[in-house]
Amino acid sequence: MKILAIETSCDDTGVAVLEIRNSKFEIRSNVVSSQVKLHKKYGGVYPSLAKREHQKNLPLVLEKALKEAKNPKLDLLAVTIGPGLEPCLWTGINFAIDLAKKMNLPLVPVNHVEAHILVNFINGPWMKTHDRRFLSREIFPAVCLVVSGGHTQLILMKSIGNYKILGETRDDAAGECLDKTARILGLGYPGGPAVAQFASRFKTYRRRASVRLPRPMIYTKDYDFSFSGLKTAVLYEFKKRSPKIRGSKKYIREMCFEVQQAVIDVLIKKTMKAAKNYKAKSIIIGGGVAANKELRKQFAEKIRKEIPYSKFYIPDSEYCTDNGLMAAIAAYYRRKGKTKNWKKIRANANLKIGEYL
């Protein structure tokens, strides 16, 4: 079976072709065109601008994905319908419907948050199986953390399609906090990778704790998060300094180190608490912030130390940020939801995990 999937929920235009053969996933192509340069100019994503870029990019990205996949004979199309930026989602949906009509193929609506989780099922040699019995024996219940520019959610996953949101951010997403910090420090967009880079250059052994930021909600009993206060703390800390200090590399490195660590501390604390409470067989992480090296390292260490019997899944960094492959994998598991009733396929900016239409 060959699936072509389209992803345009935020500022990346992604098209992928996934083949499923002998119970194995094989990536035929996964082309992503990022709008980083465009949004860098404005320090963030502007939906109407992003929409226009998707319209421009989609035919080119599609052509490239088909060419790389050697013009495959497709069985199924898929498209992300939410959550995300509504104008961007609609661009992908309209493009996918046109294509489905032309090719006379059914279309599977994909939930973006679920796709960030399910992309893990391509990772590692023994995960290249879609055997549901195997998954339920080895993996579920799983505690999933989706952390990106738009989402921060802890989800209890009992099986594929069976989700319960344990907690989520009450305001900004973790990635959004890093993006805003980068903007305050003048590091450009997207902030996550820039913050990570500066943080890695901060020499901790010389650390004299001159910058100390809060860990919002770290000890609350629930599984919710809040990152807008952290961003505000960054702003106050920054404003309090003289222009000379603010502009120094040492200060920027330290601030990046501290804000990144604050985000990691909160994410790890709450995820570990959920994993222990729900006796999770595995911890599954996804979303753009999961590309962060320190987060990956610290999560792995913590799990090995405190719950060594739990498995830990995190996608290769290139599959953490938005791409078409994640939508193709999600579509494979949701293929029963395919339809040629185009009116049913609508964008839903606030789609919850487990919902598809």
Q: Which residues bind ligand KG4 (CB under 6 A)?
A: 10, 148-150, 175, 178-179, 190-193, 196, 287-289, 291-292, 321-322
- Minimum Å gap between C-beta 338 and ligand KG4 is 24
Q: Is 148 in the site for Zn ion (CB under 5 A)?
A: yes
Decide whether 66 or 182 has the Cβ nearer to ligand KG4: 182
Decide whether 136 or 317 has the Cβ nearer to ligand KG4: 317
- Minimum Å gap between C-beta 90 and Zn ion is 17
CA atoms within 13 A on the CB side of 242: 2
Q: CA 68, 333, 176, 13: dihedral to nearest 10 degrees?
A: 30
Decide whether 166 or 289 has the Cβ nearer to ligand KG4: 289
Element housing 16 (H / E): strand 12-21
**Binds 289: which of Zn ion, ligand KG4, none (CB < 5-8 Å by kind):** ligand KG4
Decide whether 213 or 320 has the Cβ nearer to Zn ion: 320
Q: Which residues contact 208 (CB under 8 A, 6 or more apart)?
A: none
**Binds 291: which of ligand KG4, Zn ion, none (CB < 5-8 Å by kind):** ligand KG4
The DSSP symbol for 172 reads: S
Three-state DSSP at 175 gives helix
* x-or-dash string of contact with Zn ion, 306-345, rule CB under 5 A: ----------------x-----------------------
162 with 355: CB under 8 angstroms?
A: no
Decide whether 44 or 106 has the Cβ nearer to ligand KG4: 44
- Minimum Å gap between C-beta 215 and ligand KG4 is 17
Element housing 100 (H / E): helix 86-103
- Minimum Å gap between C-beta 134 and ligand KG4 is 27
**Integer Cα distance of 240 and 201 in angstroms:** 23
Decide whether 20 or 353 has the Cβ nearer to ligand KG4: 353
Q: Which residues contact 46 (CB under 8 A, 6 or more apart)?
A: 39
**Integer Cα distance of 356 and 163 in angstroms:** 13
Stretch that binds Zn ion, among 148-156, 180-188, 208-216, 258-266 (CB under 5 A): 148-156
- Minimum Å gap between C-beta 73 and ligand KG4 is 30
Q: Which residues contact 126 (CB under 8 A, 6 or more apart)?
A: none
Q: Which residues contact 120 (CB under 8 A, 6 or more apart)?
A: 127, 284, 285, 286, 313, 314, 315
- Minimum Å gap between C-beta 18 and Zn ion is 18
Binding residues for Zn ion, rule: CB under 5 A, are 148, 322
